[in-house]
Amino acid sequence: MSSETAAARWRRKSTVVLVTVLLAAAAFGTTTRTWLDVVLPQAAVETPNIAVAGSEAATAVTAFAVVAVAAALAASIAGKIARWVISGVLVVAGFGVAYASAAVIQDPQQGAAGAVGKAVGVSGAAGADVTLTVMPYLAVAAGGLIVLAGIWLAIASRSWAASRKYAAQPATGAASKGESTQPPIDEIDSWDRLTKGEDPTNYR
């Protein structure tokens, strides 16, 4: 495989869109898993162990991931200018995913505060033992890759052909040669001309 062929494949619309959708879906997928394992004081509640999903620990990650999925899908049908806008949206969404995930890593107690509040009836996670899982780190990585995907889209889409769905169709036949055309005559007119010894295909 030549280097030119490999480069062309990495610029393909289907490849760029598919990879970007998968990255955004991966970021969203992490939010459905456990981000924080919380152990509450035994005297606080009957069930001291709480598993906090990413959608609860960092709700912004879910929102940014959904935006990224929608933007990636829209890129497949967008025009040239719209693709630049979508690239910017993907970069912002990727930063949002990474930043919100990193915030949970920096302060897991704050990320668990909502879940702990529901369990014990008071806000905050004071006195709770909060342990991070690998999911927030994977979300940070996915966010960074979404940023790169947005940049990739901006670069690769410059070589994408414009959509021909709504493009004007070129003239064909006589019209393309500048010749005048007339609407075809019906069967009765053709028969009348034929009986008169005239050529029914001659419109002049």
3-class SS letters over 161-191: CCCCCCCCCCCCHHHHCCCCCCCCCCHHHHH
Of 60, 55, 35, which Cα lies nearest the Cα of 135?
35
Per-residue pLDDT of the chain (204 residues; tens, 9 = 90+): 555 565 567 778 888 899 999 999 999 999 999 999 988 776 555 666 888 999 999 999 999 999 999 999 998 888 888 889 999 999 999 999 999 999 999 999 888 888 777 776 665 555 678 899 999 999 999 999 999 999 999 988 877 765 544 444 444 444 445 554 455 545 555 555 655 656 555 555
pLDDT of residue 198: 63
pLDDT of residue 192: 59
DSSP code per residue over the chain: --HHHHHHHHT-HHHHHHHHHHHHHHHHHHTTSEEEEEE--TTT-S--EEEEEHHHH-HHHHHHHHHHHHHHHHHTT--HHHHHHHHHHHHHHHHHHHHHHHHHHH-HHHHHHHHHHHHHSSSS-TT-EEEE-SHHHHHHHHHHHHHHHHHHHHHHGGGSPPP-SSSPPPP-HHHHTT----PPP-HHHHHHHHHTT--TT---
Delimit the domains of the chain by residue range: 3-159, 174-204
pTM of structure: 0.71
Could you tell me the two tokens for 177? 């040669």
pLDDT of residue 53: 92
Residue with tokens 């994977």, as numbered in its chain: 138
Bridge partners of 120?
A: none
Topology (CATH) of 3-159: Butyryl-CoA Dehydrogenase, subunit A; domain 3 (1.20.140)
